[in-house]
Amino acid sequence: MSEVITLDRVSKTLGSREILKNVSFSVQSGDIFGYLGPNGAGKTTTIRILLGLMAPTSGRATVLGVDAQSEKARQKVGFVLETDGLYDNLSAFDNLMYYTRIYGLQDSTERIKWVIALVGLEDRIQDKVGSYSKGMRQRLALARALVHDPAVLILDEPTAGVDPTGQIEIRQIMLDRVHREGRTILLSSHNLDEVQRICNRIALIHRGEIRLFGDLESLQREMSRGEVVIETVEPVPGDILAELGRIPEVKIQNQHNRTLTLNMNRNADVSGVIAFLTARNVRIEQVKRQEASLEEIYTRIMKEAEQK
Amino acid sequence: MKKIWVIARKDVREAFRSRGTYLYIVILIVLSLTYSSSYNSLMNNLIRQNVSQQVIYETSRVFLNSLAYTLPLIYAFLVAGIFAAYSVVMDKIRRNLESLMATPLSLKQIWIGKTLGVTLPSVVVAIGISIVAYIVMNFVLIIPRTGSFILVEPAAIVTVLILVPLLIFSVSLLVIYLQLVISNPRIANLAFTGIFLLFFFGSTFLTQMGYEVPFYYIYLGLIVICAGVSYLIAGSLTRERVLLSSKT
């Protein structure tokens, strides 16, 4: 996989404020990359640098191997920013026509109609954008991001203000772009559930520094607390539980009816516990090693960062 | 160049979709009536002095010629103020400029496109209203007094068709630049007023000092100054500067 977006020790200072401090990460081709962090952490500044709106004080940012400050890089990027950038006095069609001309597209009518249908606004295509709801505007902003068929999408809170059905549809559009068309997405969001659902890799920024970066599944495994949930056909008898509790690497957390929760070292072998229980005629239905949720990871990293 | 026209066309379209623009044009037409009353009082004075028909004709010709030089410019300045408000001020308030700058457009393309979006409709509207005002004044006021339709001198026509658009373009370049880089873009519109006052008081001062400087020299001088300043400051226009000044 090739690197589509790279930030190499990027710092940004505005006045006396250091907004980004040696930020480095990369986004691979085909990634849906979640960029997380609290308000004021530096997410928007990073996005602005990637879109060439701001120049880094030091370090280098590239998009598709080209300096992010260049017009060539901007030609290949579609974006949704905090503010939608749409013109109220123009219709949805005219808004998109304006941008297709800026991107130098010829005969774009069919492309505009297709992309507007994709975001579910075909019935309102000729209405002035000033009459649109916040959710509709976000959909249209996404349509604008897609209209010139960019290789990379940089999306800042694309589902903000969108109703739940709309959020699902937008998520599906993002997944389709990546899986069917091989595009790459950098998604900045406060919606951890959304990021967990669609992103394969993440970076977490706090006060201008990257605190966590990597493959989401691996991070979830690495940061799990070693919780193992065993579902049995019958509740495990008390004497077997007491015996199980004497195994050094096993801590019994609780048992609710037929669900037994154990705390084990992340690297401990669960098969030993399964063998122990089956040897004592405990019939097991399911064994699950609980991975840390993104919310847990986020909270933990933020807490650690605050304590530093 | 094509992308510059795309920006200009969109701005013109957006401005003409606002009722405020038409209201302003109506106000300008009403404003033309004040010139009619100036002409009337001038004529009444001459008639009281029992001057010859030749003097009345000559005075009318001078009056119309000076209007031909100044009226389109005054109107163009006033209309440009309105169009400039749509071009950058609203874009900055709504933060649309950020999206525009994130496209492959260069900042100079945006700057010139926005300037053309102000200049073209201002000049067209101003010249249009001036021509209508000129014809109406001829038929309603001049012909009944002089008996003939008075045409403006060729130099005035050339000035209006070439120098006035160039002057509005070069002043708009400065105003749009200021709108792009200062936090309160509305203040930049004062530059229109400032340059207009400079022109007005400057030409009055020169006349009072006994210098008969033709209008087209004054216009040329202003064009050179504004274009020169724009050229000098062009290098200091950066996306970051525009973006940071948008945080109002």
**In a 3-state reduction of DSSP, which class is residue B76?**
helix
Is B106 an interface residue toward A (CB < 8 Å)?
A: yes
Put simply, the answer to whether A53 touches B239 (Cβ < 8 Å) is yes
CA atoms of A98 and A109, how far apart (whole Å): 11
Q: Give me the mean pLDDT over the B209-222 stretch.
A: 81
Q: What whole-number percentage of chain B has pLDDT above 70?
A: 99
Query: Do A186 and A46 touch, CB atoms closer than 8 A?
Result: no
E strand intervals along chain A: 3-14, 17-28, 32-36, 58-63, 66-67, 77-80, 152-156, 184-188, 201-206, 209-215, 227-232, 250-256, 259-264, 284-289
Put simply, the answer to whether A83 touches B95 (Cβ < 8 Å) is yes
- Work out the pLDDT band at A33, boundaries 50, 70, 90: very high
**In a 3-state reduction of DSSP, which class is residue A284?**
strand
Query: Does the pLDDT value for residue A61 go beyond 90?
Result: yes
B229 contact partners, CB below 8 Å, separation of at least 6: B174
> Would you say how long chain B is, in residues?
248
* Closest CA of chain B from A153, distance in Å: 12
For position B247, what pLDDT does the model report? Answer: 64
Q: Give me the mean pLDDT over the B176-192 stretch.
A: 81
End-to-end Cα spacing for chain B: 31
Tokens of B102: 């994130």
Say what the pTM is.
0.83
Query: Do A150 and A111 touch, CB atoms closer than 8 A?
Result: no
Is A57 an interface residue toward B (CB < 8 Å)?
A: no
**In Å, what is the CA distance from A303 to each residue of A38, A306, B5, B79, B124?**
12, 5, 52, 57, 63
User: Which candidate in A53, A74, A80 is best for mutational testing of the B interface (most B CBs within 10 A)?
Assistant: A53
Q: Show residues of chain B in contact with A89, CB under 8 Å.
A: 14, 17-18
> Would you say how long chain A is, in residues?
308
Q: How many CB atoms lie within 10 A of CB B31?
A: 15
Residue A76 CA to its chain's centroid (Å): 21
Q: Give me the mean pLDDT over the A79-108 stretch.
A: 91
Put simply, the answer to whether A81 touches B99 (Cβ < 8 Å) is yes
Query: Does the pLDDT value for residue A60 go beyond 90?
Result: yes
**Domain parsing of chain A, residue ranges:** 3-221, 225-289
- pLDDT tens, residue by residue, A152-202: 999 998 888 788 888 888 888 888 888 888 889 999 988 888 898 889 999
**In a 3-state reduction of DSSP, which class is residue A57?**
coil
Put simply, the answer to whether A83 touches B14 (Cβ < 8 Å) is no
Q: What whole-number percentage of chain A has pLDDT above 90?
A: 45
Query: Does the pLDDT value for residue B203 go beyond 80?
Result: no
A·B CB contacts under 8 A: 76
- Work out the pLDDT band at B209, boundaries 50, 70, 90: confident
Pairwise pLDDT comparison (B195 vs A147), residue with the higher score: A147
Query: Do A50 and B99 touch, CB atoms closer than 8 A?
Result: no
CA atoms of B192 and B245, how far apart (whole Å): 20
Architecture, CATH, for domain A225-289: 2-Layer Sandwich (3.30)
**Domain parsing of chain B, residue ranges:** 2-245
Put simply, the answer to whether A104 touches B3 (Cβ < 8 Å) is yes
Architecture, CATH, for domain A3-221: 3-Layer(aba) Sandwich (3.40)
A91 contact partners, CB below 8 Å, separation of at least 6: A125, A126, A127, A128, A129
For position A1, what pLDDT does the model report? Answer: 62
Put simply, the answer to whether B98 touches A85 (Cβ < 8 Å) is yes
Residue type, position B42, single letter: L
Q: Is A308 exposed, middle or buried (0-12, 13-18, 19+ CB in 10 A)?
A: exposed
Q: Is A128 exposed, middle or buried (0-12, 13-18, 19+ CB in 10 A)?
A: middle
Query: Do A60 and A8 touch, CB atoms closer than 8 A?
Result: yes
Residue type, position B88, single letter: V
Q: What whole-number percentage of chain B has pLDDT above 90?
A: 23
CA atoms of B43 and B49, how far apart (whole Å): 10
Q: Give me the mean pLDDT over the B145-161 stretch.
A: 88
Q: Show residues of chain A in contact with B14, CB under 8 Å.
A: 87, 89-90
Closest Cα in chain B to A85: B96
- pLDDT tens, residue by residue, B81-106: 878 877 788 888 888 899 999 999 99
**In Å, what is the CA distance from A246 to each residue of A240, A284, A287, B8?**
10, 20, 20, 79
Q: Give me the mean pLDDT over the A83-105 stretch.
A: 92
Helices A92-102 + A134-146 axis angle, to 10: 30
Phi, psi of A36 (to 5 degrees): -115, 160
ipTM above 0.95, yes or no: no
For position B81, what pLDDT does the model report? Answer: 82
Longest dimension (CA), chain A: 77
